[in-house]
Amino acid sequence: MPNLQIVLTESLVPHEEHDAQRSGPLMERIRQAGTWLNPPVVAPMGDGRYVVLDGANRFHCIRELGYPYILVQVVEYESEDVELDTWHHVVAGLSWFELLRRLRKLDGVRVVADTLLNARAALAQRKVAAYVVLQDGQAYTLATTADSLVERNLALRRIVDTYKRDATLNRINTDSLRTARAQYPGAVAIIVFPQYQPVEILVAARDSAYLPPGITRHVIHGRAMRLHYPLHAFAADERTIEEKNLDLQHWIQERSATKRIRYYAEATFLFDE
């Protein structure tokens, strides 16, 4: 069974910014539903806090709604149940030449046209912060002079800021614009980011050196989803956090006894998110 716990909302530390395009509508859905559907996945940081591996938008919504408690799934970051991968950004709703113009105006970011193969190699060696594949078929590397993780993540946030408010942002795991357009017909660019290590995520959370939204992809084996746990359980009331967790365990036991928990070992597509 997944390790589900109710913890203090203030004990959670994000490693990335929330996505305003997603969090706004999500907050309204949570408010209207009155139940908690998919708990964020968190890992202990060793100081009483938890880094949010997946669910930055849900965490942001609960915090903005004023709930002092939140239900999370706790995992061990270094276990085999957690895999860290990277999402790339598919950009639509903004012309590719306007995106390129904005990137070239960024201070401290050098934009260089290159072949896709060279761009991939430069990113793999961390010689560049990212690269972009545009509608003109050209790849452009995005290099910075940043040395520290704090400075590199700041540069990445500034890169993403050039399009995250005016364009539509989606996630994908390929740098093929042709493939992206099969799913997102209006796609004009793909921003490709590097592969990260868990220690970089932990340091980003500890130092508030947040990554842009929608870059890290944590694959959780044994993910708890579609709980429909009552939202009022996260409110401040006469119950202690220990009592709230005891109620949660009773709720899980009742669901298990009545065969209302189902485990899917195979990869699954959900069409009601």
How many other CB atoms are there within 10 angstroms of residue 33's CB atom?
11
Q: Output the pLDDT for position 147.
A: 84
Give per-residue pLDDT as tens, 36-81.
Answer: 999 999 999 999 999 999 999 999 999 999 999 999 999 999 899 9
Inter-residue contact 38 to 73 (CB < 8 Å): no
- H helical segments located in the chain: 20-33, 56-64, 96-104, 116-124, 149-161, 177-183, 198-206, 241-257
Inter-residue contact 232 to 34 (CB < 8 Å): yes
| Bridge partner list, 230 | 35
Give per-residue pLDDT as tens, 171-216.
Answer: 999 999 999 999 999 999 999 999 999 999 999 999 999 999 999 9
Q: Output the pLDDT for position 146.
A: 86
Give per-residue pLDDT as tens, 99-136.
Answer: 999 999 999 999 999 999 999 999 999 999 999 999 77
Terminal alpha carbon distance of the chain = 23
Q: Output the pLDDT for position 272.
A: 67
Predicted confidence band of residue 20 (pLDDT cuts 50, 70, 90) = confident
- Of 124-128, 262-266, 268-272, the range with the lowest mean pLDDT is 268-272
Of 268 and 117, the one with more pLDDT: 117
Residue type, 148: S
- Measured CA to CA, the distance from residue 57 to residue 27 in angstroms comes to 9
Q: Output the pLDDT for position 269.
A: 81
Mean predicted lDDT score pLDDT of the chain: 94
Residue ranges of domains in the chain, CATH in brackets: 4-83+218-257 (3.90.1530.10), 88-192 (3.30.1760)
Inter-residue contact 122 to 141 (CB < 8 Å): yes
Q: Output the pLDDT for position 210.
A: 96
- Measured CA to CA, the distance from residue 108 to residue 142 in angstroms comes to 10
